[in-house]
Amino acid sequence: MIWPRGQAEGGNMEQFQADSWIGGRSVASSGDPIPVIDPGTGAQIGLAARGGSAEVDHAVAEATKAFHADSWRRVDPHIRGRLMWQLARDVAAHRDRLAMMLSLENGKPLRNSHAEIQTVVRYFEYYAGWADKAGGRLVPVPGNAFSYVQHEPLGVVAHIIPWNYPVDIFARGVAPCLAVGNTVVVKPDEHTPLTTFEIAKLAKDAGFPDGVINIVNGTGEEAGVALANHPGIQALAFCGSISAGKSVLRAAAERIIPVVSLELGGKSAQIVLPGADLKRAAGGAGGGICYNTGQSCGARSRLLVHESVAEEAAELVARAMSGVTVGYGPEDPDMGPLSSREQLESVMRFVEAGKSEGAILREGGTAAVVEGRDGYYIRPTLFTGARTGMRIIEEEIFGPVLAMQTFASEEEAIALANDSPYGISAEVWSPDISSAHRVINALDVSHVSVNGTGGFGIEVPFGGVKNSGIGREGGWEGVLQYSRVKSVWINTD
């Protein structure tokens, strides 16, 4: 549970506390609690439990017990679906409170927080419908025999969640996992534990058996490492940095268990082909990089335009960025703060690198001043004249920084877009469908949007290739990856 703790430091907002949630009840921290900071003010708004190996042991034991209980694994699948549907209804009923909590701990504009809470609702609604439909198939075989394939749950699945979309990514992995009968132990990021913790509490109210959903709050170095290496885990799902993802893979390899989902970084490109609607494309690029303050694995942070329209494109993007209001998330600006002081400092280092390496700063590049708010704000930033080899082209920035390159031909545009160790997404602006398909088929990414930003629907599989990760979540593919296949052969002689 999250309890009010009087006044937050430096403001009039309630102070919150998020313990771990294990076996259907709140479990206090075994270590010194972790401050939760509002990135829009820099003030402490709560405390998170600092769980470690003891809490992970406890959570895995409870999840294991729940997995083997008749009340979960062997219950009629439609009952699991009903519980998930009820949780969706309960989250929807508390959407205003949850959205405000998310905006406070993460910094995102209130409308975006509402959208993320609605995404949680839709994930649990969608996968509630799959709970009694994840069946197998009959396989034709010769002779007096028949064979079939069935899907079974994996067991206890660990989910390690990042701070940029804390409840979206929670629901995206946990909902399909539960639909096929697994139980979960979730480690939220220590910077954004509050809303996830509250959703776990709502799951108990919805009727989920104790131990099906467990939350261990704590740092990655303590709780995260203990969870990834725990012998009682049957599978892992992780979203975060490449270095941490490699550690997760090593931990899984040591015990030969699957990493069903690994979503890592991105450096996605937008290609504006000749003849495409340049005004729409530039507006989409300038506004799109500001969504979630650029803190998205799929952010299209590279803009590729034909050399003949480079100056016009730069002017249109700069104009779109200059109209973006930067402000305090709960007051619903166009763009909120970065997630932390460290993240702001990191993004500003990239800005300085862009300038020192010869790119042209066309817009932004400075901290933003928000009256009465001592948070981690930055102006949307555009660089032109960017070239391969520059850090702003090669590295993931995780901030509202857009780097523009030019191309002379479609082939060069494709080569530039593919010249990255990442491969999570791309965007193509095209005047006709044949050109769009030609480019789509040549891009080495897992997801492409055409003539518009977005397209990451819950019904659509999402994931990465190359250094962006492995596995797919969303759609039917999300159900498949959280189950294992058993084949059966029955002789009838």
Residue 209 DSSP symbol: P
What is the rounded CA–CA span in Å between residue 347 and residue 353?
A: 10
Q: How far apart are CA 266 and CA 464, in angstroms?
A: 8
- In angstroms, the CA 102 to CA 108 distance is 8
DSSP string, 435-449: HHHHHHHH--SS-EE
Residues 6+ apart with CB under 8 A from 211: 22, 23, 24, 62, 63, 65, 66, 69, 183
Instruction: Give how far Cα 93 sits from Cα of 88, 100, 204, 327, Å.
Output: 9, 14, 15, 27
Cβ atoms within 10 Å, residue 3: 12
The number of residues in the chain equals: 493
Compute the distance between CA of residue 387 and CA of residue 373 in angstroms, rounded to an integer.
Answer: 36
The catalytic residues are 263, 297
Instruction: Please state, in angstroms and as integers, the Cα–Cα distance from residue 294 to each residue in 267, 298, 343, following that order.
Output: 11, 9, 11
First to last CA, the chain: 59
d(CA 428, CA 49): 44
Helix, coil or strand: residue 170: helix
